[in-house]
Amino acid sequence: MTTSLKETTGRYGVWSVELRSDDPARRGELDEAAAELEELGYGALWLGGNSTADHAAPLIGATRRIVVGTSIQSVWQQDAATTAAAFAEVETAHPGRFALGLGVSHGPLVEGYHRPYTAMTGYLDELDKAGVPAGRRVLAALGPKMLGLSRDRAAGAIPYLVTPEHTAQAREILGEQALLAPEFKVVLEADPARARETARAYLARYLELPNYTNNFLRLGFSEDDIAGGGSDRLIDAVFAWGDETRIRERVSAFHEAGADHVALQVVTAADGSVLPREEWRRLASLLG
């Protein structure tokens, strides 16, 4: 019997678009980085960029124990039967090492986007029929209904672009048993102006997506906070920056609010294809 994701993911993980690549020439680099992240003590790797089991499998094969999850695979990307077959292949080869992270994406990014909650429940119905266990899947949930679905039909939730206040609310809905693993962005920069400039440039794409902006409004931010690339208040809420003590305290706030695991995304001013390996090492060191 495989252990639960709550038991195997640990307190910290790495969330990364850079680790997800379809380029065979980068395979060695990605595998080496995954192995180092495991040695650094991270408990899970979360692959951004609409990832699938096919992206996770090589990294699982290159490591010994770390969990690799999709964060997220859009339910609009491939049908449930294909997803179930890919899950079964990875699970057979590496039991308990893969987490199927699912989400409904965003209206502006999906042609024919409609009734996302219904789409997710229907997708889960198909996965149930195909034998994908609820305990091996997690949902990218922001609002109360999707969080409830994460509790009832998955192992838990992997909210993206949230605050400790959201984590506290999510824990109330999920209860104590479900995995709660929010993503949190980190800029390893002590200068406020430079840190916020890097953060604001990265946040811009997300402020065009209503799922996130609506969630910010639910959390008490204003339209003014969302406008113009994001206010300092918003930037400082959804990014950790500063010296080691401040970053450690910001990450700890998620655990104190009820998170089991925090998926840390290092944000730099560098090109998005560059693996921030030195930053991952620094982050692991400061988290102890």
Say what the pLDDT of residue 214 is.
Answer: 95
By three-state DSSP, how is residue 244 classified?
helix
Say what the pLDDT of residue 109 is.
Answer: 72
Say what the pLDDT of residue 107 is.
Answer: 67
Is pTM beyond 0.95? Reply is yes
By three-state DSSP, how is residue 68 classified?
strand
Phi, psi of 250 (to 5 degrees): -65, -40
Distance between CA atoms of residues 249 and 187, nearest Å: 14
Say what the pLDDT of residue 49 is.
Answer: 87
**Contact (CB, 8 A) for 52 and 29:** no
Say what the pLDDT of residue 22 is.
Answer: 87
Say what the pLDDT of residue 206 is.
Answer: 96
For every one of its 288 residues, what pLDDT tens digit does the chain have, with 9 covering 90 and above? 568 999 999 999 999 999 998 899 999 999 999 999 999 999 999 999 899 999 999 999 999 999 999 999 999 999 999 999 999 999 999 999 999 999 998 767 778 778 999 999 999 999 999 999 999 999 999 999 999 999 999 999 999 999 999 999 999 999 999 999 999 999 999 999 999 999 999 999 999 999 999 999 999 999 999 999 999 999 999 999 999 999 999 999 999 999 999 999 999 988 777 899 999 999 999 998
Say what the pLDDT of residue 1 is.
Answer: 58
Say what the pLDDT of residue 5 is.
Answer: 97
Say what the pLDDT of residue 256 is.
Answer: 98
Residue 112 CA: distances (Å) to CA of 106, 109, 236, 271: 11, 10, 35, 32
